[in-house]
Amino acid sequence: MPHWSRESWRSKRAAHQPAYASEADLSRTGEELSSLPPLVTSWEVEALKAQLAEAAQGKRFLLQGGDCAEQFDECTAGAITNKLKILLQMSLVLVQGSHRPVIRVGRFAGQYAKPRSEEFETREATTLPSYRGDLVNRTGFTGVERAPDPQLLLRAYERSALTLNFIRALVKGGFADLHHPEYWDLDFAQHSPLAAEYHSLARRVVEALQFMENIAGVRTGEMEWVDFFTSHEGLHLIYEEAQTRRAPGGENWYNLSTHFPWIGMRTADPDGAHVEYFRGIANPIGVKVGPGMTGNLLTQLLERLHPHDEPGRLTLIYRFGHKKISECLPRLIEAVRSAGKSVLWCCDPMHGNTRYTADGTKTRHFDEILSELEQAFAIHGQCGSYLGGVHFELTGDDVTECLGGARNLGDSDLKRAYRSEVDPRLNYEQALEMALLIARMMGRTNAAKNDAVV
Ligand code: PEP
Ligand code: CO
């Protein structure tokens, strides 16, 4: 392998990087970011890697979710708490269904940069750079707001630190205590058609916990609170490089802006700058793969990113769409098997199922998302591999961005509360319903395995 350094990606083609007016300003900001403290530690990163290694073997299940793009304006106590609440509620449901510990990873505290299919956006006679996430520019349609601004790298780092600080304080203070799932109830969810099913399940978990504690005669230490890890797409390489540090006294380099960065589908070129950067960091990493990923390309990615087959190192987050998964997934499972590598398979049923309504609103339908997931479980069952996680775009808020679900949202409902600037998210109820349905699927898989053993 050629020599790697924090900067070696700079000699490769870096797709989806903004064009800044002043390279000097950008590099000054990069230096400032490098001098600021890291957001996470290498011990946490290694702890997550160990958990992901167990998920790859079927001993844990990964739940990864959050906004498509975080927004600076939504860095509020309410929005952050709601995101934690929905992830906690979903994970409780998944623990019940899978009979395994669930690893909770948020798409937060750094999910501020977006790849865009169009470099420019035109409205009437005006053409301006596309919005690329709050890390890069602003949503408003003026030249000033759309100009990439290096100062936003610092603002994004600060917002990420504020988010993480609040999450850590909530978790440490007992908010995530499994004995008290009532802390996670959302006011507007009381009237949800799913409330009763969720509450009876939560009661069963608390009872099971108390039962175990009565038997053991101690309060269950490790289970009193649950970990939260962070993840984001490692897209903006100046930002990622600036937070890349060597662990004290160690040889390894870590990206300490997040525990679990991933390479987006549009930047997963084996010869590109993103793969070059990611190959040298010791974090567990994800790679998004879609219908264009061939067995041959995947083999090259495995050679570069996963040469030592280190447990927990690589998660393949696939997003084919409900119509293509049956054709695409088996060939990638086969490619990984022939390469003799082990990976964690994670299904992102959102990004392959994006569509537009008649008036041009970007949306996704609950039933198509569910269909991709159902097929994913079935295909892994047939291929003898294991679906170890799911990846969702969701929010704890009461938005109307995706169609269908328990309240059967239709095209005309989308106008009511469409708040995403980029991709449509499952709202609170749709996300919880999805978790209940996945738990059922996993329950069936467990039952089938037990029958086979008997
Ligand atoms: C995303 O996760 O928001 C995204 C851009 O996904 P993908 O790289 O899979 O298209
Ligand atoms: Co998205």
The predicted-structure confidence for 397-439, as pLDDT tens digits, reads as follows 899 999 999 889 999 999 999 999 899 999 999 999 999 999 9
Question: 62 phi and psi, to 5 degrees?
Answer: -95, 130
Residue 453: the pLDDT is: 46
Instruction: From residue 398, give the alpha-carbon distance in Å to each of 12, 79, 430.
Output: 43, 11, 10
Sign for the pseudo-dihedral over CA of 92, 98, 102, 104: negative
Q: 248 C-alpha vs ligand 1 centroid, how far in Å?
A: 33
Q: Is the CB of 319 under 6 A from ligand 1?
A: yes
Residue 452: the pLDDT is: 53
Instruction: From residue 198, give the alpha-carbon distance in Å to each of 22, 145, 439.
Output: 53, 43, 12
Q: Is the CB of 234 under 6 A from ligand 1?
A: no
Q: What is the mean pLDDT of residues 149-168?
A: 97
Residue 86: the pLDDT is: 93
Beta bridge partners of 315: 286, 344
Q: Is the CB of 68 under 6 A from ligand 1?
A: yes
**Contact of 344 with 314, CB cutoff 8 Å:** yes
Question: pLDDT (tens digit, 9 = 90+) per residue, 32-85?
Answer: 999 999 999 999 999 999 999 999 999 999 999 999 999 999 999 999 999 999
Mutation to probe ligand 1, out of 351, 353, 392 (largest number of atoms < 8 A from CB): 351
Query: Which residue's CA lies nearest to atom 2 of ligand 1?
Result: 68
Q: Are strands 387-393 and 314-318 parallel, antiparallel or unpaired?
A: unpaired
- Helix, strand, coil % in the chain, rounded to nearest 5: 45, 15, 40
Say what the pTM is: 0.95
Q: Is the pLDDT of residue 158 over 80?
A: yes
Residue 218: the pLDDT is: 66
Q: Is the pLDDT of residue 221 over 90?
A: no
Q: Is the pLDDT of residue 125 over 70?
A: yes
Q: 61 C-alpha vs ligand 2 centroid, how far in Å?
A: 22
Query: Which residue's CA lies nearest to atom 4 of ligand 1?
Result: 264
Residue 202: the pLDDT is: 83
Determine what percent of the chain is predicted with pLDDT higher than 70.
96
Q: 266 C-alpha vs ligand 1 centroid, how far in Å?
A: 8
Question: pLDDT (tens digit, 9 = 90+) per residue, 297-341?
Answer: 999 999 999 999 999 999 999 999 999 999 999 999 999 999 999
Q: Dig out the tokens for 40 from the structure.
A: 């996470």
Question: pLDDT (tens digit, 9 = 90+) per residue, 361-395?
Answer: 999 999 999 999 999 999 999 999 999 999 999 99
C-beta neighbour count of 454 within 10 angstroms: 5
Q: Is the CB of 264 under 6 A from ligand 1?
A: yes
Helix (H) or strand (E) holding 398: none
- Average model confidence (pLDDT) across the chain: 93
Determine what percent of the chain is predicted with pLDDT higher than 90.
80
C-beta neighbour count of 431 within 10 angstroms: 23
Residue 210: the pLDDT is: 80
Q: Is the pLDDT of residue 219 over 80?
A: no
Residue 136: the pLDDT is: 98
Helix (H, G, I), strand (E, B) or coil at 47: helix
Q: 393 C-alpha vs ligand 2 centroid, how far in Å?
A: 7
Write the DSSP symbol of residue 217: T
Mutation to probe ligand 1, out of 135, 232, 265 (largest number of atoms < 8 A from CB): 265
Backbone φ/ψ region at 316: left (φ over 0), alpha (ψ -120 to 50), beta = beta
Residue 454: the pLDDT is: 40
For residues 174 and 183, what is the distance between their CA atoms, to the nearest angstrom? Answer: 9
- Spatial neighbors of 204 by CB under 8 A, at least 6 apart, are 96
Q: 317 C-alpha vs ligand 1 centroid, how far in Å?
A: 10
Question: pLDDT (tens digit, 9 = 90+) per residue, 256-268?
Answer: 999 999 999 999 9
Q: 454 C-alpha vs ligand 2 centroid, how far in Å?
A: 43
Query: pLDDT band at residue 196, thresholds of 50, 70 and 90?
Result: confident
Mutation to probe ligand 1, out of 64, 67, 68 (largest number of atoms < 8 A from CB): 68
Question: pLDDT (tens digit, 9 = 90+) per residue, 126-145?
Answer: 999 999 999 999 999 999 99
Beta bridge partners of 287: 263, 316
C-beta neighbour count of 74 within 10 angstroms: 18
For residues 324 and 405, what is the distance between their CA atoms, to the nearest angstrom? Answer: 22
Q: What domains lie within the chain, and their CATH numbers?
A: 8-453 (3.20.20.70)
Q: 264 C-alpha vs ligand 1 centroid, how far in Å?
A: 5
Q: Is the CB of 288 under 6 A from ligand 1?
A: yes
Of ligand 1's atoms, which has the minimum distance to the CA of residue 319? Answer: 9
Mutation to probe ligand 1, out of 67, 70, 233 (largest number of atoms < 8 A from CB): 233
Helices assigned H by DSSP within 260-324 = 273-279, 295-305
For residues 108 and 428, what is the distance between their CA atoms, to the nearest angstrom? Answer: 17
> Residue 390: which of 343, 436, 348, 451 has the closest Cα?
348
Of ligand 1's atoms, which has the minimum distance to the CA of residue 107? Answer: 2
- Of residues 111 and 226, which shows the higher confidence score? 111
Query: Which residue's CA lies nearest to atom 10 of ligand 1?
Result: 265
